[in-house]
Structure 1
Amino acid sequence: MVVIAQTGLQVMTSVLAAYAIVFGRFRRPGLILAAYLVTMMIPNEATVVANYLTIRSVGLFDTLIAVFIPFVASAYSIFLLRQTFMSFPTEILEAATIDGAGPMRFLFRFLLPLTKPIIMTVTLVSAIAAWNGYLWPLLVTESPTSRTVQVGVKALFDEADTDFGAGLAGLVVVSIPTIILVIVGQKFLARGLTEGAVK
Structure 2
Amino acid sequence: MPYLIILDASHNELSDFFGFQPPKNLKEVNFSHNQMSVMTHLSAYSSLSKLNLDYNCFSEIGGLLHCASLTHLSLAHNKISCISGLDNLPIKDLCLRGNQIEKIENVETLRTLQVLDLSLNRITSLSGLQNLHLLGSINLERNLISEIKEATHIHDLCLLRELNLQRNPVQVAALHLHPEHIT
TM-score normalized with structure 2 length: 0.26
Higher alpha-carbon Rg: 1
User: Which is helix-richer, 1 or 2?
Assistant: 1
Considering Cα pairs closer than 8 Å and 6+ residues apart, tell me whether 1 or 2 has the greater RCO: 1
> Which of the two has greater strand per residue?
2
